[in-house]
């Protein structure tokens, strides 16, 4: 059984069911977990339940028919607010939290003002911050009073990919709800049902590479990306790739990913992520199998890689993983892309050929 059609999180739904039955819904929740596993959908359905005029305590379900349910689904309910970072902004603007300068101090502007008001109907005022990872220090401080002394009728849900991305002022004042990656069989089935792919084997591979995240798996479902990744894995397996040639090949691929800088950054992160997965697979294979049998138990490229001369060591694999993680983070910091690609590939070449 899945709660309200949201698969993989029944234990969390049961926790909220018990709290709802006892009238013990908290003031602030921090939903954390990989992207694309259902955090936002769960939060939205929970908001609908809290605002529903005829909720079922036994089934822990909204009626889906009353005017409140219809308004929440359409995004027009006066007691419901969904806030997301504007695409053109690096952080959630302070104005979205406490209003512009002329409104600040009135306690009736922005998200904070929304939660402070008496509910228009029902018991609660509910707000969801969909991109809580993009709260800067100023934004987190603006929420501090609401977090410390939430109005009795207020429910705030912050959605985050990782607790490490939240400031201590947020983590210490919120009830943390951890959403785990979806089981591979469930996530692969959902990819097929959503029409992202039609091959079960490829769906499972996408989910493994995406760490159980449906959103990331859908992003990875590009034939151009996988063609390039297959060629790149083969080059890595021989450890004899030309850095200049591959720098040019990666740049050409990124140019084909789109004109917007954000699209190219994401495409580069995807390639780096698949490279990281190559080294992770190699490390796991080394721990579980001998290099002599690796090519029969995993992909041929991993077998060739582990049997190359001189033998690659665990220390080198860990350094390659760290190199990829650092490059991934450098993309987020918007470092010059051409220089980043050259540096990343050159570091990998030195690590693999100094082994």
Q: Categorize the per-residue pLDDT at 334 as very low, low, confident or very high, splitting at 50, 70 and 90.
A: confident
SS (H, E, C) the chain: CCECCECCCHHHHHHHHHHHHCCCCCCEEEEECCCCCCHHHHHHHHHHHHHCCCCECCCCECCCCCHHHHHHHHCCCCCEEEECCCCCCCCCCHHHHHCCCCCCCCCCCHHHHHHHCCCCCCCCEEEEECCHHHCCHHHHHHCHHHHHCCCCCEEEEEEECCHHHCCHHHHCCCEEEECCCCCHHHHHHHHHHCCCCCCHHHHHHHHHHCCCCHHHHHHHCCHHHHHHHHHHHHHHHHCCCCHHHHHHHHHHHHHHCCCCHHHHHHHHHHHHHHHHHHHHHHHHHHHHCCHHHHHHHCCHHHHHHHCCCCCCCHHHHHHHHHHHHHHHHHHHCCCCHHHHHHHHHHHHHHHHHCC
Answer whether residue 257 shows pLDDT above 90.
no
The answer to whether residues 90 and 119 touch, using CB atoms and an 8 Å cutoff, is: no
Q: Percentage of the chain surpassing pLDDT 70?
A: 94
Give the chain's domains with CATH numbers.
10-178 (3.40.50.300), 222-353 (1.20.272)
Look at 95-104, 121-130, 175-184 and tell me which has the smallest mean pLDDT: 95-104
CA distance 257 to 259: 7
CA distance 306 to 289: 10
Higher pLDDT, 93 or 291: 93
Q: Categorize the per-residue pLDDT at 293 as very low, low, confident or very high, splitting at 50, 70 and 90.
A: very low
CA distance 7 to 42: 10
Answer whether residue 335 shows pLDDT above 60.
yes
CA distance 48 to 61: 9
Q: What is the pTM of this model?
A: 0.75
Rounded mean pLDDT of 178-182?
90
Answer whether residue 108 shows pLDDT above 70.
no
Per-residue confidence (pLDDT) for residue 250, from 0 to 100? 95
Per-residue confidence (pLDDT) for residue 297, from 0 to 100? 45
Per-residue confidence (pLDDT) for residue 294, from 0 to 100? 41
pLDDT digits (tens, 9 = 90+) for 132-143: 999 999 999 989
Tokens representing residue 60 in the block: 């822990």
Answer whether residue 291 shows pLDDT above 60.
no
Per-residue confidence (pLDDT) for residue 300, from 0 to 100? 82
Q: Categorize the per-residue pLDDT at 348 as very low, low, confident or very high, splitting at 50, 70 and 90.
A: very high
Rounded mean pLDDT of 82-104?
83
Per-residue confidence (pLDDT) for residue 295, from 0 to 100? 40
Per-residue confidence (pLDDT) for residue 296, from 0 to 100? 40
Per-residue confidence (pLDDT) for residue 105, from 0 to 100? 57
Per-residue confidence (pLDDT) for residue 150, from 0 to 100? 86
CA distance 158 to 237: 42
pLDDT digits (tens, 9 = 90+) for 45-68: 999 999 999 998 888 999 999 999
The answer to whether residues 277 and 317 touch, using CB atoms and an 8 Å cutoff, is: no
Residues in the chain: 355
Rounded mean pLDDT of 83-88?
88
Tell how far CA 52 is from the center of its chain: 29
pLDDT averaged over every residue in the chain: 89
Answer whether residue 336 shows pLDDT above 50.
yes
């Amino acid at each position: 059984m899945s709660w309200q059609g949201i698969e993989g999180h029944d234990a969390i739904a049961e926790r909220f069911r018990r709290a709802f039955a006892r009238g013990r819904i908290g003031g602030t929740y921090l939903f954390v977990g990989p992207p694309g596993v259902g955090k936002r959908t769960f939060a939205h359905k929970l908001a609908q339940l809290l605002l529903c005029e005829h909720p079922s305590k036994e089934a822990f379900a909204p009626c889906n028919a009353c005017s409140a349910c219809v308004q929440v689904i359409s995004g027009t309910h006066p007691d419901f607010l969904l806030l997301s970072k504007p695409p053109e902004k690096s952080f959630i603007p302070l104005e979205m939290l406490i209003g512009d300068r002329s409104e600040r101090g009135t306690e009736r502007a922005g998200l904070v003002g929304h939660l402070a008001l008496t509910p228009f109907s029902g018991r609660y005022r509910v707000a969801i911050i969909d991109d809580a990872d993009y709260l800067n220090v100023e934004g987190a401080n603006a929420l501090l009073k609401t977090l410390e002394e939430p109005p009795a009728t207020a429910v705030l849900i912050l959605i985050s990919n990782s607790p490490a991305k939240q400031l201590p002022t947020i983590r210490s004042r919120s009830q943390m709800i951890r959403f785990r990656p979806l089981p591979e069989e469930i996530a692969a089935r959902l990819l097929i049902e959503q029409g992202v792919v039609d091959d079960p084997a490829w769906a499972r591979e996408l989910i493994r590479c995406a760490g159980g995240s449906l959103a990331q798996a859908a992003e990875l479902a590009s034939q151009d990306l996988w063609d390039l990744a297959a060629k790149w894995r083969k080059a890595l397996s021989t450890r004899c790739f030309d850095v200049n040639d591959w720098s040019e090949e990666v740049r050409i691929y990124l140019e084909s990913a789109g004109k917007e800088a954000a699209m190219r950054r994401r495409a580069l992160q995807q390639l780096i992520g698949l490279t990281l997965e190559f080294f992770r697979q190699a490390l796991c294979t080394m721990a579980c199998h001998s290099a002599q049998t690796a090519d029969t138990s995993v992909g041929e490229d991993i077998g060739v890689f582990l049997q190359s001369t001189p033998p690659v060591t665990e220390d080198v694999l860990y350094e390659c993983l760290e190199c990829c993680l650092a490059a991934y983070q450098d993309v987020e910091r918007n470092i010059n892309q051409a220089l980043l690609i050259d540096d990343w590939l050159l570091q990998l070449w030195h690590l693999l050929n100094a082994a």
